[in-house]
Amino acid sequence: MKKILIFLFISMLFISCESKISSSNEPEQNLTNYQKVLLKAKEQNKSIMIKLTSEDCHFCKKMDREVFLDREVIDFLDKHFIQLTIDVKKEKLPKENLHYKVTPTFFFLTNNEKPLYRIQGSWNKKDFIELVEMVLKKEKGA
């Protein structure tokens, strides 16, 4: 009987701890991808880059192959930004003031959601990095 009581006590303790762990994660699970990116940007003191794309966009796929798979570009963007990709045909834009005409379009925001810049269209690696460096200079002056 004593062993059964100990077993029940340990089981209840384990269940109690497990429910506390899962309940502490629940608020984050209910956040949108944009809200998660925003929290991460604030935690890491980085700006946000939102890439608007669509699965039928030829130029989006071209940039994905030729620019976004390049290690230099990956490291550069990871160093300065928290990134979010949105398929405009499947998802709503996270903010009402984000307007676009073509994909790909790239929005750059501070971690306080202040718009910094918008880049439209497809670019090669060199030109894209130069444009993003211009965004970083603007951010420092903002």
Q: What is the pLDDT of residue 18?
A: 43
Task: Answer whether 0.85 is exceeded by the pTM.
Answer: no
Average pLDDT, the chain: 85
Q: Are residues 24 and 46 in the same domain?
A: no
pLDDT at 17 (0 to 100): 44
Identify the pLDDT of residue 137.
92
Bridge-based pairing of strands 81-87 and 47-53 is parallel
Residue 84: CATH number of its domain = 3.40.30.10
Tokens 């984050």 map to which residue?
28
Residues 6+ apart with CB under 8 A from 91: none
Name the residue with higher pLDDT: 103 or 95.
Answer: 103
pLDDT of amino acid 27: 55
> Are 24 and 68 members of one domain?
no
Q: Are residues 70 and 111 in the same domain?
A: yes
The per-residue pLDDT for 22 is 41
Number of domains in the chain: 2
CA distance 42 to 137: 19
Band of residue 102 on the pLDDT scale cut at 50, 70, 90: very high
Q: Which amino acid, 120? A: Q
pLDDT at 107 over 90: yes
Q: 24: pLDDT confidence band, cut at 50, 70 and 90?
A: very low
Which residue range(s) make up the domain with 99? 33-141
Asked if 60 and 104 count as a contact pair (C-beta separation under 8 A), the reply is yes
